[in-house]
């Protein structure tokens, strides 16, 4: 169906006027969707205050009505200038929004509860409002390149904004069982967004189901990255990415080939969903039904811990983590959580590399078998980054397992079955790699194990993953460079390749900045909490910087100033100290000169 209204005598003027009007309506829908979703969250957060419920309900209904009206007008006018395949669906949604508002105003008289099921009970309407919000947020995120800001600065700002939003949401009365201070809400939001897992209040006791969903959403978005998350939905609803969007996004997902940006983004989301879904199903199956009041609670537990494990967040709905009575001996479930942690921390570039390798290998075998084509050798797909990440991760897991088995034989492993010792030692090697889950009493660890944990936490996960820390490849590059210096080599070589000088400079810059940040954090916390033991404080700061979430039990006893310090350290560890320096400093111009070289005594 195509309308033909004449506003001006010149057809071109008509078309230009329609396009401007569509643009204005599009912006109106965007801000109305943001406002409507904000009012919805605010209303859900104040469900115990009748006066606020009444006011926000009326405001919500008005905004829903005009949102539906704006969607109808935009789609009808868009149809004047071009065909819109989603016209019918969006019109139906808009009509539903308008009817919902009118029914709640009783514009058609009184209806029974059954007739108002989808309006008074909010469910369908709330879901539609949420979907429209996600759609408009995704489209809006594609405009971020117009800000002319560096990708590093946008990356930092995205986490900062998400932390502020999370703080506001967790501060809502309905998010907590008995209220929470602003600093505790800020600390928890920072810990969730930075996928750390350090808590100043018990997640299972202090937060309601609504609050736990907020926390889960924060570390899901924080794990993937705000820009990756919103850009995917922007692409999903818009259907394509511009060249500017692709160039802007490539640094976030570590994809150098601009033509593969969209494909890589989709693979990352699909991989995340599949791993989290599979982990949730396995956790559900491997937990005892008697531990939960109903299957709904059991599914929520499974989903929460699956997402938390993949995002290396370390949050748990159990007061004592996986050491909670009834859960501490579920070793099969612990294995699922540990493997999920490894998959989340290995890095998306590694997954993409091996996906491409397996795809090309299977494609060659199938074509050779079905069409008789000569089998073509699969080209080298596994690059240096992938191999270093995989080998370093495997080496650290083996070292962590052996050390835990040796040092904890008379401590946390004492009295366990043979299978229990193996699983607990393996879990103990995995969890300090930025995961933060505990299947033992952390205060019962031996001192050598704590020192090993400090090293494992400092190294952390792999680049391009949901985890934090120094990163496995950075540590590997530093070791390789040290070995090259010791053997007198003038360059660093590995796997038949030579590492660039820029890689070496960045590695040692990151290492130096990590020690500076950790040292300053330990100093400030001991200054604000002088009664705490140095080893406990050091463990806390290492855990915060590497976004691990493990603690020796001092987090809840921190002063307000110490909480701010730890929160800042978590933020620096997640976004990267070098990233912040790059974002706030001006890039040096190309140097067209060279000073005479001179040696400085190092040893």
Task: Judge whether residue 561 has pLDDT over 90.
Answer: yes
Q: Report the chain's mean pLDDT, rounded to a whole number.
A: 82
Give 394-407 pLDDT, tens digit per residue: 999 999 999 999 99
Residues 79 and 228: their CA atoms lie apart, in Å, by 31
Task: Judge whether residue 56 has pLDDT over 80.
Answer: no
Residue-level pLDDT at 112? 46
Greater model confidence, 402 or 85:
402
Percent of the chain at pLDDT above 90?
27
Residue-level pLDDT at 280? 95
Is 12 inside any structural domain? yes
Residue-level pLDDT at 1? 44
505-to-207, 477, 495, 542, 586 alpha-carbon distances in Å: 44, 10, 20, 23, 18
Report the DSSP beta bridge partners of residue 498: 493
Task: Judge whether residue 582 has pLDDT over 80.
Answer: no
Residue-level pLDDT at 120? 45
Residue-level pLDDT at 58? 80
Give 294-315 pLDDT, tens digit per residue: 888 899 999 999 999 998 888 9
Residue 347 φ/ψ region, left for φ over 0, alpha for ψ in the -120 to 50 degree band, beta for the rest: left
Is 77 inside any structural domain? yes
Mean pLDDT, residues 187-206: 90
Give 355-407 pLDDT, tens digit per residue: 888 887 787 777 777 776 666 665 666 788 888 989 999 999 999 999 999 99
Which residues span the domain enclosing 87?
Answer: 1-141
Structure tokens, 97:
């929004």
Task: Judge whether residue 81 has pLDDT over 50.
Answer: no
The DSSP code for 107 is: T
Residue-level pLDDT at 264? 78
Q: 85-94, 162-171, 523-532: which range is least confident on average?
A: 85-94
> Domains in the chain: how many in total?
1
Residue-level pLDDT at 258? 61
- Pairing type for strands 493-494 and 497-498 reads antiparallel
Residue-level pLDDT at 116? 44
Angle at 212 between CA 471 and CA 429, to 5 degrees: 35
Task: Judge whether residue 154 has pLDDT over 80.
Answer: no
Q: 135-149, 248-262, 332-346: which range is least confident on average?
A: 248-262
- Max avg pLDDT among 34-38, 74-78, 248-252, 563-567: 563-567
Is 104 inside any structural domain? yes
- pLDDT tier at 578, thresholds 50, 70, 90: confident
Is 543 inside any structural domain? no
Question: DSSP string covering 403-419, please?
Answer: HHHHHTTTTTTTT--HH
Is 28 inside any structural domain? yes
Is 129 inside any structural domain? yes
Specify the residue for token string 């736990």: 212
Residues 481 and 171: their CA atoms lie apart, in Å, by 48
Percent of the chain at pLDDT above 70?
81
Task: Judge whether residue 251 has pLDDT over 90.
Answer: no
Residue-level pLDDT at 249? 64
Task: Judge whether residue 118 has pLDDT over 50.
Answer: no
Is 41 inside any structural domain? yes
Is 398 inside any structural domain? no
Residues 213 and 221: their CA atoms lie apart, in Å, by 12
- pLDDT tier at 155, thresholds 50, 70, 90: confident
CB 410 within 8 A of CB 444: no
Residue-level pLDDT at 115? 45
Q: 116-130, 132-146, 199-213, 565-579: which range is least confident on average?
A: 116-130
């Amino acid at each position: 169906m195509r309308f033909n209204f004449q506003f001006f005598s010149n057809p071109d003027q008509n078309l230009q006027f329609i396009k401007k009007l569509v643009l204005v309506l599009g912006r109106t829908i965007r801000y109305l969707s943001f406002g409507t979703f904000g009012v919805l969250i605010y209303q859900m957060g104040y469900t115990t205050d009748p006066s606020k419920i009444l006011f926000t309900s009326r405001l919500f209904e008005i905004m829903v009505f005009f949102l539906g009206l704006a969607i109808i007008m935009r789609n009808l006018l868009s149809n004047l200038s071009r065909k819109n395949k989603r016209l019918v669906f969006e019109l139906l949604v808009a009509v539903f929004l308008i009817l919902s508002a009118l029914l709640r105003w009783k514009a058609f008289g009184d209806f029974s509860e059954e007739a108002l099921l989808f309006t008074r009970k909010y469910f369908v309407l709330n879901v539609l409002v949420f979907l429209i919000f996600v759609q408009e947020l995704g489209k809006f995120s594609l405009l971020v390149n117009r800000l002319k800001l560096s990708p590093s600065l946008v990356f930092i700002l995205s986490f900062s904004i998400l932390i502020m939003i999370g703080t506001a949401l967790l501060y809502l009365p309905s998010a907590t069982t008995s209220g929470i201070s602003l600093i505790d809400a800020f600390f928890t939001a920072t810990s969730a967004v930075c996928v750390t897992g350090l808590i100043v209040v018990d997640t299972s006791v202090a937060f309601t189901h609504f609050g736990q969903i907020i926390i889960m959403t924060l570390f899901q978005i924080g794990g993937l990255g705000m820009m990756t998350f919103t850009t995917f939905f922007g692409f999903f609803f818009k259907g394509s990415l511009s060249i500017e969007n692709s160039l802007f996004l490539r640094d976030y997902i570590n994809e150098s080939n601009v033509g593969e940006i969209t494909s890589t983004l989709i693979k990352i989301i699909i991989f995340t969903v599949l791993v989290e879904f599979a982990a949730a199903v396995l956790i559900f199956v491997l937990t005892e039904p008697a531990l939960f009041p109903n299957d709904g609670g059991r599914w929520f537990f499974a989903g929460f811990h699956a997402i938390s494990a993949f995002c290396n967040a370390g949050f748990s709905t159990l007061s004592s983590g996986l050491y909670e009575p009834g859960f501490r001996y579920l070793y099969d479930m612990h294995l699922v959580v540990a493997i999920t942690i490894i998959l989340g921390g290995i890095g998306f570039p590694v997954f993409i590399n091996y996906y491409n390798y397996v795809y090309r290998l299977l494609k060659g075998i199938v074509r050779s078998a079905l069409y008789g084509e000569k089998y073509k050798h699969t080209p080298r797909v596994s690059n240096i980054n992938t191999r270093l990440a995989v080998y370093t991760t495997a080496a650290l897991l083996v070292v962590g397992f052996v050390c835990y088995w040796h040092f904890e034989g008379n401590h946390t492993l004492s009295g366990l079955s043979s299978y229990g010792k193996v699983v607990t030692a393996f879990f103990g090697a995995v969890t300090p790699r930025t995961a933060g889950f505990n299947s033992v009493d952390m205060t019962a660890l031996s001192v050598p194990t704590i020192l090993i944990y400090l090293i494992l936490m400092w190294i952390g996960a792999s680049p391009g993953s949901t985890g934090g820390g120094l990163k496995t490849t950075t540590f590997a590059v530093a070791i390789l460079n040290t070995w090259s210096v010791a053997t007198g080599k003038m360059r660093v070589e590995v796997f038949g390749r030579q590492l660039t000088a820029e890689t070496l400079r960045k590695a040692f810059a990151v290492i130096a900045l990590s020690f500076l940040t950790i040292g300053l954090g330990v100093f400030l916390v001991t200054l604000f909490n002088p009664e705490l033991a140095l080893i406990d404080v050091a463990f806390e700061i290492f855990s915060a910087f590497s976004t691990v979430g493990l603690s020796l039990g001092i987090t809840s006893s921190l002063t307000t100033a110490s909480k701010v310090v730890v929160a800042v350290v978590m933020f620096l560890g997640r976004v990267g100290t070098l990233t912040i320096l790059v974002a706030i400093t001006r890039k040096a111009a190309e140097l067209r000169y060279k000073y005479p070289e001179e040696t400085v005594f190092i040893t």
